[in-house]
Amino acid sequence: MRLFLILVLTSLYGNFSISQECDAILLGQVVDFHDNTALENATISVTGKDLQTTSDQDGKFNFTTLCDGVIELEISHPDCKSQFVTITIDGDTYQKISLEHHLEELDEVKVVGGTQKTTNSSQEETLGLKQLEQYSGNSLGDALKTITGVSSLNTGANIVKPVIQGLNGSRVLILNNNVRMQDMEWGEEHAPNVDINANQKISVIKGAAALEYGGDAIGGVIVLDPLPIARSDSLFGKTQMNLFSNGRGGNITSTLTKSFDSGLYMKLQGSLKRLGDLETPDYLLSNTGIQENSISVNLGKRDFLQGWEAYYSFFDSDIGILRASHIGNVDDLITAINSQQPNIINDFSYNIIRPNQEVTHHLAKLNYYRRFKGTGKLDLQYDFQSNRRFEFDIRVGDDAEKPSLDLQLTTHTLSSTLQIDSQNDLEIKLGVLGRYQSNFADPATGVRRLIPDYDKYDVGGFAIGEYKLGTRWNVDMGVRYDFTRLDAKKFYRTTRWEERNYDQDFSDLVIDDLGTQLLVNPVFDYHNVSAMAGFRYEFNTQELLRFNYAFAQRAPNPSELFSDGLHHSAARIELGDLRIKSEGSSKVSASYERNALNWGFTIAPYFNAIKDFILLEPNGVEFTIRGAFPVWAYRQTNVQLVGVDLSVYNNWTQKIRSDHRFSWVRGTDTSSDLPLINIPAANMSNSLSYSNEALHGLTISLESQYVFEQQRFPPNIMVFSPQAAQEVVLDINTPPPAYHLLALDIATAFSLKNKHDLTVGLRATNLLNTQYRDYLNRLRYFVDDLGRNISLRLIYNY
């Protein structure tokens, strides 16, 4: 807009100029269209004349001895398309030229690459392509654990939920290609339904500061994005195969990308994974196999002024649940905790039997953007997700093939963001969102619904601003509002309804009385506000300080509100509470970073005070004709999480590098002054790597991971054991001892058709076959964790 005005004005002046003197100077600057950064090395030539120059590092150039009048400049840049600009010279003239800068434009999806971060002031880390390739055959959660401060809540080795600075589940958002995953993340044994191979850039924002993705990310946000596709006529592909000794299987994943000069592109990606029963150092883990298939297609056109993308992905997994973890009642649990070996060890098999879970996830997205000069960029997106979850239990007779849980979760989201980045020092992002979600629990299972049928409506809006104050300060702040309405229809047993005193508080919700059960229709509204403010200060080019304060509120999820009954796969009675309200977190985080060639470090402390924190913990037993079951109930309390993430690296020589990471978090229920349940133990990892580009790109690295024993845990509970006919301690909270694991990774590259197009890697995890159990593995009561696993990976680029 501004340029337009200048051009109009200058052309007006031009008409009035009479003299034809040829000593005018044109002073120009070439800048990037969308953020005004200077573009160096642009070639500028005057058409029709033998005048040519290049822009300096400030993007500036000049021509002397120009005649007054209209001239045409041709500007080209290695990363850009050539552009012609007509200008009028009237004496000494200044001209700013905005260029469409492809490479930056390609980063446009806001992928966090290199040092570029999604947020300005919050703690954030990114996984590189190399790391992702190492974890290609594992799950997303496994790969994320290499980030300081990220751990996982496991149900065996295949169900891995990321935990960010002590928080997990609904508090951690997963953005898959700019779509917020809606895959029943509320369950402790529900893993994210994403293929780690579908996206090549994965970053973790620790905390709620990334307001554009949602206001309720009290734990943090995991952003999965594809690598940008170059705008050129090309066709390339990549295939990776991994073979594992533990599980005796592997996976294969392929990506094929076709792009055109016009900006049109198409990407096809697919993965297959098959693993059989896994092994500990001493025994087989029967029924721990996994089968996973996924496919994704991107089709789009990315132009400077506008672009669109259509994306579809399908993810399907069938995961076996350790046979020995399927227990009947509290006595079985006591027996399991006290015995060193699982009670069921079958021969090795690839077959997945009961219990198991079969989950499919469809995701479709349509995105359109348009850029407005002088304003910024407008983005419109619609996405659709369908998540179907079957959980199969060990059942007999006619019901043996019936699932015990059958949920269908469908989500539609419409969102729009406007990014105003025309000013050099100020960037503003505004956005709105509307979402509709419905859950259907199929009654044909013959098992009472754990999660009821519901409809959920979300409307939200946010505004974020980032202001550059001088060369060293960057200040950002944002605010977001979300409205959520949950409209559920649920059957309660009359006895449960009364036991929870709902008959006194919620009698108006009852819409039907069936004698032994009641149909109720809770409609709950939540108004949540989130806000953040922070700054980044650069001491110099190597050292910087980030500081961020974020306040976030999260509405309770359906599981926290409505869980009611025996969770067969966990052999526990889970009870939600209709009285649960939104939780609110106030988090202060800072990080002091040094990034230099020779060495660097990050010190990142944080303090998170959460009011009305919703947690699930064992609090007793209930008796049924099948025996006694531990009761896990949701409750709300005030908690504090305080922790620090540390990392240091040092390049000892050009070939030898070491990395050291440590993270520690302490969680306290401040209402009772007791430790919080399921807080990851302190852990430390150190790695030493050798790399030699000249020697077939050889890299060798030895990694050590030490996980401390969690000393702080809530007290165990006393339960009545029918078998022992007395009250006994249910040792359900005691964490296992500390452990130390070693891993070795060797990779080298070969050149078949192109340089280093084939990479061969060998990796061994739990090298010493150490026997251990992890506090955050829900199967720790029953079995040891995985033993040694030797894997071979082949990566071919074509």
Partner 1 sequence: MKKKLNPFYKSNVKLMAIALCIAFLGFSCSDDDENPVPVDEEEVITTMNVTLTASGVASVSLQSQDLDGDGPNAPDVTVSGNLVANTIYSGTIVLLNETETPAEDVTVEVAEEDDEHQFFFSITGALTSVAYSDQDGDGNPVGIDFELTTGDAGNGTLEITLRHEPKKPNDGTLGDAGGETDIAESFPIVVE
703-722: which residues touch partner 1 (CB under 8 A)?
722
Shortest Cβ distance from residue 351 to partner 1 (Å)? Answer: 16
CA-to-CA distance for 286 and 348, rounded, in angstroms? Answer: 7
Instruction: Report yes or no: 709 and 701 within 8 Å, Cβ to Cβ.
Output: no
Binding piece for partner 1, criterion CB under 8 A, among 160-168, 266-274, 433-441, 474-482: 433-441
Shortest Cβ distance from residue 377 to partner 1 (Å)? Answer: 11
- Smaller CB separation from partner 1, 128 or 443: 443
Lateral strand order in the sheet of 24-32: 60-66, 24-32, 93-99
> Is 623 one of the binding residues for partner 1 (CB under 8 A)?
yes
Q: Which residues, 534 to 593, sit near partner 1 by CB under 8 A?
A: 565-566, 573
Per CB under 8 A, the list member of 35, 316, 331, 358 interacting with partner 1 is 331
CA-to-CA distance for 664 and 642, rounded, in angstroms? Answer: 8
Shortest Cβ distance from residue 504 to partner 1 (Å)? Answer: 16
Neighbours of 75 (CB within 10 A): 22
Q: Which residues, 724 to 743, sit near partner 1 by CB under 8 A?
A: 725
- Smaller CB separation from partner 1, 713 or 782: 782
Shortest Cβ distance from residue 412 to partner 1 (Å)? Answer: 8
Going 487 to 171 to 200 to 458, the CA torsion angle's sign is positive
- Smaller CB separation from partner 1, 512 or 731: 512
Shortest Cβ distance from residue 326 to partner 1 (Å)? Answer: 7
- By CB atoms closer than 10 A (0-12, 13-18, 19+), residue 461 is middle
Shortest Cβ distance from residue 3 to partner 1 (Å)? Answer: 7
- Smaller CB separation from partner 1, 455 or 709: 455
Going by C-alpha positions, the residue among 48, 199, 237 that lies closest to residue 111 is 199
| Tokens (6 digits) for 614 | 């919703």
Instruction: Report yes or no: 170 and 216 within 8 Å, Cβ to Cβ.
Output: yes
CA-to-CA distance for 459 and 712, rounded, in angstroms? Answer: 39
Shortest Cβ distance from residue 275 to partner 1 (Å)? Answer: 25
Per CB under 8 A, the list member of 4, 348, 539, 652 interacting with partner 1 is 4
- Smaller CB separation from partner 1, 274 or 301: 301
x-or-dash pattern for partner 1, window 341-380, by CB under 8 A?
--xx-------------------------x-xxxx--x-x
- Backbone phi, psi, residue 716, to 5°: -70, 165
Per CB under 8 A, the list member of 395, 546, 780, 788 interacting with partner 1 is 395
Shortest Cβ distance from residue 446 to partner 1 (Å)? Answer: 3
CA-to-CA distance for 169 and 167, rounded, in angstroms? Answer: 7
- Smaller CB separation from partner 1, 694 or 725: 725
Shortest Cβ distance from residue 448 to partner 1 (Å)? Answer: 5
- Smaller CB separation from partner 1, 96 or 655: 96
Shortest Cβ distance from residue 580 to partner 1 (Å)? Answer: 18
> Is 414 one of the binding residues for partner 1 (CB under 8 A)?
yes
- Smaller CB separation from partner 1, 23 or 499: 499
- Smaller CB separation from partner 1, 368 or 664: 368
State the DSSP string of 533-556.
Answer: EEEEEESSSSEEEEEEEEEEEEPP
Neighbours of 504 (CB within 10 A): 8
What are 264-267's contacts with CB under 8 Å, separation 24+? 264/300, 264/301, 265/229, 265/231, 265/298, 265/299, 265/300, 265/301, 265/302, 266/297, 266/298, 266/299, 266/300, 267/226, 267/229, 267/296, 267/297, 267/298, 267/299
Going 747 to 748 to 750 to 756, the CA torsion angle's sign is positive
Radius of gyration of the chain (CA): 29
Binding piece for partner 1, criterion CB under 8 A, among 113-121, 608-616, 620-628, 748-756: 620-628
Shortest Cβ distance from residue 80 to partner 1 (Å)? Answer: 14
Instruction: Report yes or no: 410 and 385 within 8 Å, Cβ to Cβ.
Output: yes
- Smaller CB separation from partner 1, 20 or 516: 516
> Is 436 one of the binding residues for partner 1 (CB under 8 A)?
yes
Shortest Cβ distance from residue 352 to partner 1 (Å)? Answer: 17
> Is 627 one of the binding residues for partner 1 (CB under 8 A)?
yes
Binding piece for partner 1, criterion CB under 8 A, among 271-279, 440-448, 643-651, 740-748: 440-448
- In angstroms, the first-to-last Cα distance of the chain is 44
CA-to-CA distance for 47 and 294, rounded, in angstroms? Answer: 53
- In this structure, are strands 726-730 and 510-513 parallel, antiparallel, or unpaired? unpaired
- Smaller CB separation from partner 1, 462 or 629: 629
Per CB under 8 A, the list member of 286, 329, 559, 647 interacting with partner 1 is 329
- Smaller CB separation from partner 1, 5 or 235: 5
CA-to-CA distance for 36 and 375, rounded, in angstroms? Answer: 12
x-or-dash pattern for partner 1, window 507-526, by CB under 8 A?
----xx-x-xx-x-------
- Smaller CB separation from partner 1, 97 or 477: 97
Shortest Cβ distance from residue 10 to partner 1 (Å)? Answer: 12
- Smaller CB separation from partner 1, 61 or 629: 629
> Is 81 one of the binding residues for partner 1 (CB under 8 A)?
no
Amino acid sitting at position 168? N
> Is 264 one of the binding residues for partner 1 (CB under 8 A)?
no
Instruction: Report yes or no: 135 and 143 within 8 Å, Cβ to Cβ.
Output: yes
CB-based contacts of 213: which residues, under 8 Å, 6+ apart? 173, 175, 180, 221, 223
> Is 399 one of the binding residues for partner 1 (CB under 8 A)?
yes
Per CB under 8 A, the list member of 160, 175, 441, 464 interacting with partner 1 is 441
Instruction: Report yes or no: 739 and 707 within 8 Å, Cβ to Cβ.
Output: yes
CA-to-CA distance for 165 and 217, rounded, in angstroms? Answer: 12
Neighbours of 68 (CB within 10 A): 20
Per CB under 8 A, the list member of 12, 432, 596, 729 interacting with partner 1 is 432
Neighbours of 693 (CB within 10 A): 12
- Number of residues forming the site for partner 1 (CB under 8 A): 73
CA-to-CA distance for 387 and 290, rounded, in angstroms? Answer: 18
| Dihedral, CA of residue 99, residue 101, residue 107 and residue 113, to nearest 10 | -110
| Tokens (6 digits) for 444 | 């044909």
Q: Which residues, 92 to 111, sit near partner 1 by CB under 8 A?
A: none
CB-based contacts of 57: which residues, under 8 Å, 6+ apart? 38, 40
CA 62 to chain centre: 47
- Smaller CB separation from partner 1, 69 or 374: 374
Binding piece for partner 1, criterion CB under 8 A, among 14-22, 107-115, 200-208, 397-405: 397-405
- Smaller CB separation from partner 1, 370 or 755: 370
> Is 328 one of the binding residues for partner 1 (CB under 8 A)?
yes
Shortest Cβ distance from residue 332 to partner 1 (Å)? Answer: 7
| Tokens (6 digits) for 71 | 């001239």
Shortest Cβ distance from residue 449 to partner 1 (Å)? Answer: 6
x-or-dash pattern for partner 1, window 628-667, by CB under 8 A?
-x--------------------------------------
Q: Which residues, 442 to 501, sit near partner 1 by CB under 8 A?
A: 443, 445-449, 452-453, 455, 457, 459, 487, 489, 491, 493-496, 499
State the DSSP string of 368-381.
Answer: EEEEETTTEEEEEE
